[in-house]
Amino acid sequence: MNRITLEQANAVIAGAFAKAREMALKPLGVAVLDAGGHLIAWQRQDGASTGRLQLAVGKASGALFLGISSRKIGDMAGERPTFLASLAPIAPGGVVPAAGGVIVVDANGHAIGAVGISGDLSDKDEACTLAGIAAAGLTAQA
């Protein structure tokens, strides 16, 4: 298996929303991207603000851009703010330095896509991202 299918992407979103209901979170947007950073599937829950797509994609796309989760990018941002700032004009989908964007890997550890969520606090967004990836039978980058 070397790419995320639409069926799997939909399963990721369903799993993330199930986790969000369980945690009683605010309305979320969930983005599933392929390894090239192109959107396979996106759903935005009623009441979510207009920027959720850009934020969720900016987490997932930024993770693919740098090869690490958006949580780690957030840590990096505190230490190297000018490096993060330098990415603005060159990273097409943005690089949002906050937890919630996670790379999906195959059995060899190669990236086959990424999932990004935005809507509540970053830590809670990320809990749903991980729950969605697991629900679809996929593997999050360690």
**Contact residues for its own copies (CB under 8 A)?**
2-3, 5-6, 9-10, 34-51, 53-55, 57-58, 62, 64-67, 74, 77-78, 80-98, 110-111
Give Cα separations from 116 to 29, 79, 82, 85, 140 (angstroms). Answer: 8, 23, 24, 20, 12
CB nearer to its own copies: pick between 65 and 129: 65
CB nearer to its own copies: pick between 39 and 134: 39
- Structural tokens at position 62: 């930024």
CB nearer to its own copies: pick between 18 and 77: 77
CB of 107 to its own copies, least distance (A): 13
Distance CA 20, CA 65 (A): 27
The per-type count for the chain, helices as H runs and strands as E runs, is 5, 5
CB of 105 to its own copies, least distance (A): 11
- Nearest of 50, 46, 31, 51 to residue 125 by alpha carbon: 31
CB of 125 to its own copies, least distance (A): 13
CB nearer to its own copies: pick between 47 and 142: 47
CB of 23 to its own copies, least distance (A): 18
Distance CA 41, CA 33 (A): 7
